[in-house]
Homo-oligomer: A and B are copies of this chain.
Amino acid sequence: MTDDMLVLRPIARVSSVLTDRSTAPRQGDEGAPDAWIEVDPAVADGIRDLRVGEDVIVLTWLDRTRRDVLLVHPRGRRDRPPVGVFSSRSPDRPNPIGLHQVTILAIDGLRLHVSNLEALDGTPVIDIKPLLGPISER
């Protein structure tokens, strides 16, 4: 199975005051700062219908993590027994994809200001998706 080459292309980058994993919050709702998402001009059309006030899902590529990890201590606490990585939100995992729900606070051209993003400065963004509403409104 591992012969495949599934290659992601960054569509944006995070610009944040967070630069150090050891001091970053573990999740967006645990005190993460607002941040900017700087969108690649090549995909400008893709963001044209995003609006201030909207909640969206942002997927990131957590590029300062370990991919060779299958068991993790919850919340990095060595006093807690290790669990399988797929029962954990640890950024250390075989495919280090971060999943973040944020609110769009402002839009300035190709820059999106968003709430509560725990990704570090420079982190590649690989997708933005709307939340799914009721079936009748899709």
Contacts and interface: CB of A to CB of B under 8 A. Distances in A.
Interface of A: 1-2, 4-13, 26-27, 29-30, 40, 42-50, 56-57, 59, 61, 63, 70-71, 74-75, 83-89, 93-95, 97, 99, 124, 126-130, 132, 135, 138
A97 B97 CA distance: 10
Nearest to A11: B94
Contacts of A57: 99
A93 B45 CA distance: 12
9 contacts: A2-B9, A2-B42, A6-B9, A8-B95, A29-B135, A49-B83, A56-B86, A59-B95, A97-B126
Contact of A2 (B29, B40, B56, B128): B40
A128 B70 CA distance: 12
Given A88-B130, A89-B130, A97-B127, 18 more contacts: A1-B12, A1-B40, A6-B126, A29-B135, A43-B70, A44-B70, A46-B70, A46-B71, A46-B93, A47-B87, A49-B84, A56-B86, A59-B95, A74-B138, A86-B129, A88-B129, A95-B126, A99-B99
A27 B111 CA distance: 29
Given A27-B138, A95-B126, A126-B97, A84 B1 contact: no
Contacts of A13: 1
